[in-house]
């Protein structure tokens, strides 16, 4: 046995075959390099290669001051925080109160300026009146407009003033305009009396087209004002025929009114006027369609070819006037 020599060579040994890695694992390893400290599921982990968190360095970084001096960690004082919050809330409430007070003061100042201050207050010297005549005096107009003095011009009601002015006998139109800050302009259109009512005792009473008695004015010419004979003024003003007469007379043009010599009204639809001392007699009927009736009368009596030698014109039916 000693003489036998065992030769062991490389040819006699089979090479160790390493386990083949799948191409998929190789590709995965090549394409996705691992991060340090990471491992695949199921792979052996070497704890010596794991990155540890340096808690000491982290704490020092958090507690280091602006000059690099290590300070104590900040401790939250909840009482101080609550006190600061209460102070902040108080400041907000105070600021709101100041703003609200300032707003109320501004509103109060504006109200005082507009409604109570002398800036907009209407005084008697700030009222200007025009349009009166001998029958509607400016004193009457001023008496009504003067009721608004002492008020702010913003509180003056123009409509109320106009309504009161229109109630004055003889006033056919009234206008009121405000001129800020404290002036009022009042303009009226006052007519002459529509007629003079002559009572049985010879007394004369001036009335307007609505049957309202005008002021009794002395030393005033009544020339050109038609005269209506009534037994009694009060009874005459309640008579419908007289009212129709006044309505017609008040709406006639002044050129016709100046030519009226007398007026008669037996009934409310038989109003008649005599012109030019009896040269022409116009039968108006009632006050309806008066604008058309006036145009027909004006055309007939001012055209010699139409009126000819006739002296009476009946326009109670204006579309079929009768000339005789």
In tens, the pLDDT along 161-211 reads 999 999 998 898 999 999 999 999 999 998 889 999 988 888 888 999 989
pLDDT score at 5: 45
Which pLDDT does position 39 carry in this prediction? 53
Q: Hey, what's the torsion of the CAs at 103, 109, 112, 114, to 10 degrees?
A: -90
Q: Is residue 228 within 8 Å of residue 211, measured between CB atoms?
A: no
Lookup: tokens for 318 = 């204006």
Q: What is the mean pLDDT of residues 111-115?
A: 92
Domain-wise residue ranges, the chain: 80-116, 124-190, 195-323
pLDDT in tens, 124-137: 999 999 998 888 88
CB of 234 within 8 A of CB of 217? no
Report pLDDT for 52. Answer: 58
Residue 234 has pLDDT above 50, yes or no: yes
Comparison of pLDDT for 17 and 142, the residue scoring more: 142
Torsion sign (Cα): 276, 282, 286, 288: negative
DSSP 210: T
Residue 92 is predicted with a pLDDT of 93
Would you say 283 and 316 are in contact if contact means Cβ atoms under 8 Å apart?
A: yes
What CATH number does domain 124-190 carry, 1.10.10.10, 3.20.20.10, 3.10.20.310, 3.30.70.580?
3.10.20.310
- What is the dotted CATH code of the domain comprising 195-323? 3.40.50
pLDDT tens profile 9-65 = 444 444 444 444 444 444 444 444 444 445 556 666 565 665 655 655 666 566 555
pTM of the model: 0.59
């Amino acid at each position: 046995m000693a003489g036998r020599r065992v030769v062991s060579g490389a040819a006699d040994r089979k090479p160790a075959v390493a386990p083949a890695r799948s191409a998929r694992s190789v590709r995965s390893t090549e394409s996705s390099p691992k991060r340090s400290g990471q491992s695949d599921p199921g792979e052996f982990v070497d704890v010596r290669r794991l990155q540890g968190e340096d808690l000491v360095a982290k704490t020092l970084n958090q507690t280091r001051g602006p000059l690099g001096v290590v300070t104590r960690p900040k401790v939250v004082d909840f009482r101080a925080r609550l006190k600061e919050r209460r102070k902040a809330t108080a400041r907000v409430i105070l600021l709101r109160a100041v703003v609200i007070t300032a707003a109320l003061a501004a509103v109060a100042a504006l109200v005082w300026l507009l409604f109570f201050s002398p800036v907009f207050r209407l005084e008697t010297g700030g009222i200007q009146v025009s349009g009166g005549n001998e029958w509607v005096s400016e004193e009457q107009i001023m008496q009504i407009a003067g009721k608004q003095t002492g008020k702010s011009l913003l509180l003056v009601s123009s409509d109320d003033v106009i309504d009161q002015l229109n109630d004055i006998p003889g006033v056919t139109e009234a206008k009121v305009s405000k001129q800020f800050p404290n002036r009022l302009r009042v303009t009226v259109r006052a007519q002459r009396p529509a007629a003079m009512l002559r009572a049985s005792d010879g007394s004369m009473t001036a009335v307007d087209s609505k049957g309202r008695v005008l002021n009794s004015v002395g030393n005033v010419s009544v020339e050109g004002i038609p005269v209506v004979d009534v037994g009694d003024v009060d009874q005459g003003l309640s008579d419908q025929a007289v009212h129709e007469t006044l309505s017609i007379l008040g709406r006639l043009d002044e050129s016709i009114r100046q030519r009226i010599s007398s007026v008669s009204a037996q009934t409310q639809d038989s109003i008649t006027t005599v012109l030019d001392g009896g040269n022409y007699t116009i039968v108006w009927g009632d006050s309806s369609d008066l604008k058309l009736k006036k145009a027909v009368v004006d055309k007939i009596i001012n055209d010699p070819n139409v009126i000819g030698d006739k002296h009476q014109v009946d326009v109670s039916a204006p579309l079929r006037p009768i000339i005789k």
